[in-house]
Amino acid sequence: MGKHTIIAPITPRLVDEETAAAYVGRGRTKFREDVGKRLLPSHSDTNGNVKLWDIRLLDAYIDGRSGFGDTSTGWDA
């Protein structure tokens, strides 16, 4: 019997707009509005025409809204 390698699932660091919106509990339209108003961080990178958001910046937004952790926003600087 051959060896099998088990690969742990990988959580992506960068996610597309649809995933980012769902991650923070918004629909795409509201997510775009909040990004435009600088209430949410803007995209961190692009992959061709696809904008990508950093999960850690989204986590910082959620933490700030909940009062958990540092409430400063690093994306406004």
Domain residue limits at 30: 14-66
Residue 25 maps to a domain: yes
Helix (H) or strand (E) holding 18: helix 17-23
Evaluate if residue 68 carries a pLDDT over 80. Answer: no
Residue-level pLDDT at 58: 96
Based on the structure, what is the number of domains in the chain? 1
pLDDT (mean) for 4-29: 91
pLDDT (mean) for 37-46: 92
Residue 74 maps to a domain: no
**Percentage of residues in the chain with pLDDT exceeding 70?**
86
Mention every residue, 6+ apart, whose C-beta is less than 8 A from residue 4.
none
Confidence of residue 74 (pLDDT cuts 50, 70, 90): low
Please tell me the distance from the alpha carbon of residue 64 to that of residue 45, in angstroms, as a whole number. 22
Residue-level pLDDT at 77: 42
Residue 76 maps to a domain: no
C-beta separation of 33 from 49 below 8 A: no
